[in-house]
Amino acid sequence: MGASALNRPDSRDFARLFLADTPFIDTRSPGEFAEGAFPQAVNLPLMDDEQRAQVGLCYKQQGQQAAIDLGHRLVNGPVKESRIAVWRAFAETHPDGYLYCFRGGLRSRISQQWLQEVGIDSPRIIGGYKAMRRFLIQQLEASAQHRFIIVSGQTGCAKTRLLQEVANAVDLEGLANHRGSAFGKRLGGQPTQIGFENALSIALLKRRHASPQAAIVLEDESRLIGRIAVPEVLRESTMRAPLAVVEMSLAERVEHTFHNYILQNLSDWQTHAGDVAGFAAFAEELRQNLATLQRRLGGHRHSQLLSEMNAALVAHVRGNPEAHRAWIEPLLRDYYDPMYAYQLGLKAGRVVFRGSYAEVSTYLGEAH
């Protein structure tokens, strides 16, 4: 695949690139990438963090040309060959890909030139990460002016699953890798705030592009999803949006909670760490999650629930996971339900529909 085969121009058509899930080579240093990136980007840096720091210091003290010369000395010989090898492998696997650095400057031009020397055409993104990030901030502000329908309901109403079945929905909890409650941690940790905002802006852009006139469906979230903050510009807009409320029996919600927070979480942990270590980590996480609610629950109620949780964990390890329902039900009924009822009461004027899971799903599918 030579440069003459594709000869694709460098681009600043950010909307097209994001809508197409274009693969990106991010040539920034690992530290820069860790602070915030795009969902479709892979970090294949020109310089590592230490090399970048050395070149940056040289630039400040001696100017651009001296910094360029130092960069070439640091990334030379086998190091240079290894950089080109991984870029080439990515470009051959993703012939529609683009590369960028922070501002679309020296690092991406050098990377592009080195690839051209081995016959690979890999166009750059003009303006780099900084310009794309600015574009996504602007798009997030534009998306906040769009119409929304917010799905609400008591804890355990399978709202996330409902959103995943609705064509014009964006799953905020999925993007934040957190279920949004004290028990909502997921393996893999959460993205950075910037990474979340980038992914959110892209998801909203796709929904607006696919159905410009249709309302976007979101779940009713608090300000924080785990440690990730819902951008204020979006939160202000959704706090005025109409609500569709899912109604489920306590028994149904206990069942959903049991399946997702017990069976699924344990499966994830054991896949990650093995059966024994996975169960131990799963059990400790449950206890820690309950501990975060101790002040709100009060000492006596927390002690009761912890005792029931520990008894359930003993039964579980002996082959009876069903015992977890003994603490899940009172936690939902006596803690989460009153809190939800109070919060929904503050939003009562925004409720436009109430119904079962299936009825809300049908309503959302027909809403425009």
pLDDT digits (tens, 9 = 90+) for 83-103: 999 999 999 999 999 999 999
Helices 275-291 and 265-273 cross at an angle (nearest 10°) of: 130
pTM of full prediction above 0.75: yes
Average pLDDT, the chain: 93
> Computed from CA positions of residues 131, 133, 136, 140, in that sequence, does the dihedral angle turn out positive or negative?
negative
Residue 333 identity (one-letter amino acid): R
pLDDT digits (tens, 9 = 90+) for 184-218: 889 889 999 999 999 999 999 999 999 999 999 99
Q: What does the pLDDT read at residue 6?
A: 52
Question: Using CB atoms within 10 A of its CB, is residue 206 exposed (0-12), middle (13-18) or buried (19+)?
Answer: middle
Is the Cβ–Cβ distance between 159 and 172 less than 8 Å? no
What percentage of the chain reaches a pLDDT higher than 70?
98
pLDDT digits (tens, 9 = 90+) for 144-183: 999 999 999 999 999 999 999 998 999 999 999 999 888 8
Instruction: Give the model's confidence band at 240: pLDDT under 50 very low, under 70 low, under 90 confident, else very high.
Output: very high
pLDDT digits (tens, 9 = 90+) for 356-366: 999 999 999 88
How far is 195 from 175, CA to CA, in rounded Å? 9
pLDDT digits (tens, 9 = 90+) for 258-297: 999 999 999 999 999 999 999 999 999 999 999 999 999 9
Helix (H, G, I), strand (E, B) or coil at 17: helix
The one catalytic residue in 46, 47, 101, 157 is: 101
334 contact partners, CB below 8 Å, separation of at least 6 = 301
How many other CB atoms sit within 10 Å of the CB of residue 315? 15
Q: What does the pLDDT read at residue 8?
A: 84
pLDDT at 2 over 80: no
Residue 58 annotated in active site: no
Place of tokens 């980590």: 281
Q: What does the pLDDT read at residue 368?
A: 63
Structural domains in the chain, sorted by start: 3-135 (3.40.250.10), 144-368 (3.40.50)
pLDDT digits (tens, 9 = 90+) for 28-37: 999 999 999 9
Q: What does the pLDDT read at residue 3?
A: 40
Q: What does the pLDDT read at residue 136?
A: 98
